[in-house]
Amino acid sequence: MENLIIMHINYMEQGQTFDEICEKAVKLGFDGIEFRRSIKNMKDDEYLEKLAKSVEKSKLKYILFGAPGPNLMDENPDVRKKEIDDAVNFYRKASKYFKLTVCNTTTGPLINPEFPYHHFEKHGSNYAKDCHWEWAVNGFKILGELAEELDFYFAFEIHNCYLHDTVESTTKLVDLIGKKNVGINLDYGNIILRKDATSLKESIEKCGEKLYYVHLKNLFIVKGIEHLNYIMCPLSDGIINNREFLKLLKENNYKGPICIEAPREGDREYFAKQDLEYIKSILSEI
């Protein structure tokens, strides 16, 4: 099992510079980093140029890009067109600086205003109308053609409160788009928060050959709390058995990147070291 091990940028969003981020990722032993597709107060050209210099200086091997994806859920067609155009322009520019592999993406949040955010089953695909599916499919047919032209892949993160919030809705979306270079990013830490969560084994099997990317994180479910019912924790703790996760990926011949992330407060640089050591120990054993 020779998968690239990718560090999510949320390990290093505590004031570190691009130079520091890239150098520390290399020193720890990561193959690459998933950066945001955009950051505040910096235009694309400036962002990509500065990042490219840091990557070259550190000799980091791979750069992936993630959220935010284009917001295709807006009712205004002019807004949707601009979102697509902006994404096309960004990835064209990025491809001149980096050899892109897999880029994490979304179609924009889809929230039912009648329910709180944490009622996941009331949002996303369960709230979607035919038009939402149409907007997402049309947009990613364009982006899928771009990815094929530039030789990289898009992977929809299975994420609550989006059209692609379950394994079933995400595979449906990918099938409707029908582009080879558009697939799935399996983030089981999002799936397990749902009342209708599919098992790890079922989730991986249902993604099938369209599984292009994986996010790993972990959490504890807190019983009896209505509005905040989970606490993020190290990969080795929590209710997700990431050893089983990696074994199942190997059994299903998964060859894509594995991205580990730390959506929790505290010393995230230490978390990066801790979580990477855990993942590498498992990979060496299986």
Mean pLDDT taken over the chain = 95
Residue 45's alpha-carbon distances to 39, 98, 153, 176, in angstroms, are 12, 13, 22, 33
pLDDT at 41: 87
Q: Who has greater pLDDT, 221 or 8?
A: 8
Q: What is the CATH number of the domain that holds 43?
A: 3.20.20.150
Average pLDDT over residues 48-71: 97
Please choose, from the candidates 36, 24, 30, the residue with its C-alpha nearest in 3D space to the C-alpha of residue 7: 30
pLDDT at 1 over 60: no
Percent of the chain's residues with pLDDT above 90: 89
Tell me which residue range forms the domain holding 216: 5-285
pLDDT band at 205 (very low <50, low <70, confident <90, very high): very high
Give the tens place of pLDDT for each residue, 144-200: 999 999 999 999 999 999 999 999 999 999 999 999 999 999 999 999 999 889 999
Count of domains for the chain: 1
β-partners of residue 213 are 185
